Chain A
Amino acid sequence: DARVTQTPRDKVTEMGQEVTMRCQPILGHNTVFWYRQTMMQGLELLAYFRNRAPLDDSGMPKDRFSAEMPDATLATLKIQPSEPRDSAVYFCASASNTGELFFGEGSRLTVL
């Protein structure tokens, strides 16, 4: 059963610490998205990649967030330094050329 895998599922950290979230897209999917979900803002697109190349990261605070795809099986989202306002659920999603997005289960981040 193909699925998007995200780690960690839950992360509690202190303000100022570095946080790295990882995502394994579905094998063969060439487009990977990072979304952030909060009660106030809903689902917001942070960045997305096609064939490992970043296409749009305009939704991501550049000063502390960075997203990369070291290879086709791994996407990372890093926050350094983390702040309490970064507390949210971060979702990774992948898609093939047919367009349907498949979401992972999310990484719940709490920054104290």
Chain B
Amino acid sequence: GESVGLHLPTLSVQEGDNSIINCAYSNSASDYFIWYKQESGKGPQFIIDIRSNMDKRQGQRVTVLLNKTVKHLSLQIAATQPGDSAVYFCAENIRPPHSGAGSYQLTFGKGTKLSVIP
């Protein structure tokens, strides 16, 4: 079936460098995408989201890019810091039919572990 997947399971970057985490999705009906960060022993934490009518969204040190043509999502972290070390998940939302605003079911990818080298 259709699912969210990740290109790289692990990523090591030098402190101060930029990080790019990639995610492929295959469901063309997905209308909303989210990146989550999960630190060891904690629950996933929202980082940034993007709707399917956008191709780029920026937050504080993070940027999400959406390429609907190739069904690709990426998370860019500028000036990566040791505190960025975590597992990063992308999630896609397929709004259930006949559902109201705010209705959604997220499907999560397997995650990419980011390790920052001091």
Q: Complex: how many Å from CA A102 to CA B44?
A: 8
Interface of B: prevailing SS: loop
Measured between beta carbons, the chain A residues less than 8 angstroms from B111 are 42
**Is A106's CB within 8 Å of the partner chain B?**
yes
**Is B89's CB within 8 Å of the partner chain A?**
yes
B45-75 vs A, Cβ < 8 Å mask (1 yes, 0 no) = 1100100000000000000000000000000
Size of the B side of the interface (Cβ < 8 Å), in residues, is: 23
Measured between beta carbons, the chain B residues less than 8 angstroms from A48 are 105
Measured between beta carbons, the chain A residues less than 8 angstroms from B7 are none
Q: Are B102 and A31 in contact (CB under 8 A)?
A: yes
CB within 8 Å of B: which of A54-112? 55-56, 91, 93, 95-106
- Given A42-B110, A100-B49, does the pair A106, B102 have CB atoms closer than 8 Å? no
Q: Are A43 and B89 in contact (CB under 8 A)?
A: yes
Interface of A: prevailing SS: strand
CB nearest neighbor in A for B4: A42
Measured between beta carbons, the chain B residues less than 8 angstroms from A91 are 43-44
CB nearest neighbor in B for A102: B46
Q: Complex: how many Å from CA A100 to CA B45?
A: 10
Measured between beta carbons, the chain A residues less than 8 angstroms from B96 are 56
- Shortest distance from the beta carbon of A31 to any chain B beta carbon, whole Å: 7
**Is A50's CB within 8 Å of the partner chain B?**
yes
Measured between beta carbons, the chain B residues less than 8 angstroms from A106 are 42-43
B22-53 vs A, Cβ < 8 Å mask (1 yes, 0 no) = 00000000001010100001111110010000
- Given A50-B103, A95-B102, does the pair A105, B42 have CB atoms closer than 8 Å? yes
When the two chains form the complex, which single residue of B45, B105, B109 contacts A103, counting CB atoms closer than 8 Å?
B45
Q: Complex: how many Å from CA A102 to CA B34?
A: 12
**Is A15's CB within 8 Å of the partner chain B?**
no
Q: Write the residues of chain A forming the contact surface with B, with a CB cutoff of 8 angstroms.
A: 4, 31, 42-43, 45, 48, 50, 55-56, 91, 93, 95-106
Leading 6 A-B pairs by shortest Cβ distance:
A103-B43, A43-B108, A97-B102, A42-B110, A103-B44, A105-B43
